[in-house]
Amino acid sequence: MFQKLITLIKKIVRRPVWAVMNLYDSLPFSAKSRAVKKFDKLAEEKKLFFSTSIFINGFTDQLCGLIFFYTLGTRMGMKYLFSPLNSRRSHFETVSENTAAEFPAAHKTHKNDPDEYSDIYDFIGVNNHLKSLSKNSTGIEFNKILFDLDQIKFDNRILQSFDHFINDLKFRIIRQTDISKQNLFYFRALPTMFKNFRLIVSHETGDLPFRTIYERNRKEKGWSSAYHDSAINLMVHIRQGDTAVIKTPWNTYIPVWYKIEGRLHEYESKEDIDSFEIIDVDEFYKFLKKLLNQFNTDRFSSVVFSDGFKSAFDLINSDKEKEVGEDGRQKKMQELKQTYDNQEFKKFLEWTEVKTVLGEEKEKLFDLIDSFIKSDVVIIGTQQKMIPKLLKIYCNPENMPFLITLYKKKEPHVNYLGIGPEFKHRMNVDLDDYDIAEISERLENFLNERKPKLMSPAFRR
């Protein structure tokens, strides 16, 4: 009976996804159960292996994907084979000569040698750790299959239960398995992974302790902190780049974010751009000023990180059909690109009590990760997607920093990452309506527990 089922399934392999789904939904429970048992038997016989084939996205997307796929594969009884992660940020630009010359202190590099590390995964120690988890595949000739979860339309009933989701995957995987060989499935997904990330969070394996891996790697290869010693470590991350709105030399505005309807179009007024999620650099500056004015800033070591606006100009320049290329405008935009970071971050760069780090060079990315893990306080905006993922990957409710998220109109939602109410040291701040005294009081209460030795009557101004 089972062999007849397998034959039937193989006949529909090339059919549309909805046809496969309908077949699965129409099968009796007994047929599904037999398919799952066959899968379990092959897994026990070590004929089912898995690895990852994550799309080339930001490295935090890749780490979340790794958690997702590793949890699924190991929970299904499959054996993991190492596949190195590679970041699209493996090549880096240097800071512009204009910026370095005008604000040398803000961009001065420290004693760290970033070239000691091949890429971000070498720096955080993940690839070496994954190698240690991998099964020995020497001499094995695999039947290799790309298994893309984004090509599957899962029934909502399946997604209500982790066990149902697992059994559904087993059924779909077994129909592509060659039972006479060892099979290596390369798991891939992005929207499906994030849509169902919460489903697997409570089942996360202990084999991927990212914070422990990082700390072990830092003991083996030191890295000088961007913070100074004996202080409350406060980090601000201001994402601009591919989410920015650029003011042109002729006083129009060009948004570049894919979320904005009308991206790369010119607007006469910034208010005409329909995106409440965009938070300007100056809004971060004003908030941080108000917050730090509540305290003795000598107790803080504050670092502001931003990718700057380079990629925004690159996106505009790539749109060759735009009118910005007419009448020498493209040349004017290229000239503006050289000074735009200085212009937009001028207040931060001149603020001597705060260190400002602009750009996407390798050592700055390493500093960003190291600073996040060592932070007591982190401030972000709704353009930011990287920091919430780092929070989930590297922190738990006990060791997380105090996270302040600035927003306008619509409060941010991060529960899809499994960051629920147990992550209690979080505060969403409406920039149009907030009480700085309330925010500073909550922060002070947190710091009284986190770093009590630095707290005294002189902590407040």
Q: Of 116, 139, 149, which is closest to residue 50 (Cα–Cα)?
A: 149
**How many other C-beta atoms are found inside a 10 Å radius of the C-beta of residue 301?**
24
**What is d(CA 444, CA 292) in angstroms, rounded to the nearest whole number?**
12
For residue 18, is pLDDT > 50?
Answer: no
What is the β-pairing status of strands 232-238 and 426-430? unpaired
High-pLDDT (> 70) share of the chain, %: 86
Tell me the pLDDT of the chain averaged across its residues: 86
**What is d(CA 77, CA 346) in angstroms, rounded to the nearest whole number?**
55
* Single-letter amino acid, residue 126: V
The whole-number pLDDT of residue 24 equals 54
The whole-number pLDDT of residue 115 equals 80
How do residues 36-78 score in pLDDT, each as one tens digit?
999 999 999 999 999 987 666 788 999 999 999 999 999 999 9
The whole-number pLDDT of residue 327 equals 64
For residues 427 and 452, is the Cβ–Cβ distance under 8 A?
A: no
**What is d(CA 412, CA 177) in angstroms, rounded to the nearest whole number?**
42
**What is d(CA 184, CA 167) in angstroms, rounded to the nearest whole number?**
18
Instruction: Give residue limits of the domains in the chain.
Output: 2-84+123-214, 230-459
How do residues 380-415 score in pLDDT, each as one tens digit?
999 989 999 999 999 999 999 999 999 999 999 898
**91 against 300, higher pLDDT:** 300
Q: Of 299, 286, 252, which is closest to residue 272 (Cα–Cα)?
A: 252
For residues 73 and 104, is the Cβ–Cβ distance under 8 A?
A: no
Give the CA distances from residue 377 to residues 275, 297, 303, 358, 417, in Å, rounded to whole numbers and listed in that order. 27, 13, 11, 19, 20
Q: Which CATH number fits domain 230-459: 1.10.1740.10, 3.40.50.2000, 3.30.70.2390, 3.40.30.10?
A: 3.40.50.2000
What's the alpha-carbon Rg for the chain, to the nearest Å?
25
For residue 319, is pLDDT > 80?
Answer: no
The whole-number pLDDT of residue 209 equals 95
Give the CA distances from residue 375 to residues 80, 91, 211, in Å, rounded to whole numbers and listed in that order. 33, 27, 13
